[in-house]
């Protein structure tokens, strides 16, 4: 999918049920709060307790659809890294489809699951972990930081 915010052009390339490549090319009225590709950056740069209640996103379904992301602060959760204790803010991101499709989606098993994002606040906010699908209908993935361990100087010689 590609989005040109200035012109409102949204292009989605996909394979249909017969394996043929299809292209949907639409012009959409895109809102100012469009967050495609920037959700982690936005969540890393909000003050604690000040996450925007909703953001807009173009869903990359075969026919592009504008949806709302409802963001809630689920509180602080402790974690350890490198022997130090920290607390990350846990955000829950729910996709609100809206309209008739939004009413029908949960009934037919098409409501996307909620996603979670954990962010370490402070002077240099950092992504800590996320859990959620990476594409429509995909499995839930957990992506999290790992603390690297560097060899001692004598071991590298």
pLDDT (0 to 100) of residue 91:
94
Average pLDDT for 42-70: 87
Q: Is residue 137 part of a domain?
A: yes
Which pairs from 96-103 meet CB under 8 Å and 24+ separation?
Answer: 96/54, 96/67, 96/68, 96/69, 96/70, 97/65, 97/67, 98/67, 98/68, 101/65
Average pLDDT of the chain is 87
> With bands split at pLDDT 50, 70 and 90, how would you rate the model's confidence at 127?
very high
Q: Is residue 73 part of a domain?
A: yes
DSSP reduced 3-state for 35: coil
Q: Is residue 21 part of a domain?
A: no
Where in the sequence is the domain holding 36, given as residue range(s)? 32-156
Its pTM surpasses 0.85: no
Q: Is residue 77 part of a domain?
A: yes
CA-CA distances (angstroms) from residue 23 to 3, 61, 62, 130? 13, 11, 8, 30
Q: Is residue 152 part of a domain?
A: yes
Q: Is residue 91 part of a domain?
A: yes
pLDDT (0 to 100) of residue 80:
85
pLDDT (0 to 100) of residue 82:
78
C-beta separation of 8 from 28 below 8 A? yes
Q: Determine which of 1-10, 68-77, 145-154 has the lowest per-residue pLDDT on average.
A: 145-154
131: tokens are: 């859990």
Number of domains composing the chain: 1
d(CA 53, CA 73): 9
Q: Determine which of 20-34, 49-63, 66-80 has the lowest per-residue pLDDT on average.
A: 49-63
pLDDT (0 to 100) of residue 50:
79
Q: Is residue 105 part of a domain?
A: yes
Q: Is residue 1 part of a domain?
A: no
How much of the chain exceeds pLDDT 90, in percent? 52
């Amino acid at each position: 999918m590609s989005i040109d915010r200035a012109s409102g052009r949204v292009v989605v390339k996909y394979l249909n049920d017969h394996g043929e490549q299809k292209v949907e090319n639409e012009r959409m009225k895109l809102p100012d709060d469009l967050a495609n590709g920037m959700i982690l950056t936005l969540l890393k740069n909000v003050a604690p307790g000040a996450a925007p209640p909703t953001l807009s996103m173009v869903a990359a379904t075969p026919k592009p659809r504008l949806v709302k992301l409802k963001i809630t602060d689920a509180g602080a959760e402790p974690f350890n890294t490198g022997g130090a204790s920290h607390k990350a803010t846990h955000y829950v991101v729910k996709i609100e489809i809206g309209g008739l499709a939004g009413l029908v989606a949960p009934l037919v098993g098409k409501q996307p699951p909620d996603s979670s994002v954990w962010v370490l606040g402070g002077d240099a906010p950092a992504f800590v972990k996320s859990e959620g699908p990476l594409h429509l209908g995909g499995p839930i993935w957990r992506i999290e930081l790992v603390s690297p361990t560097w060899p001692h100087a004598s071991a590298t010689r």
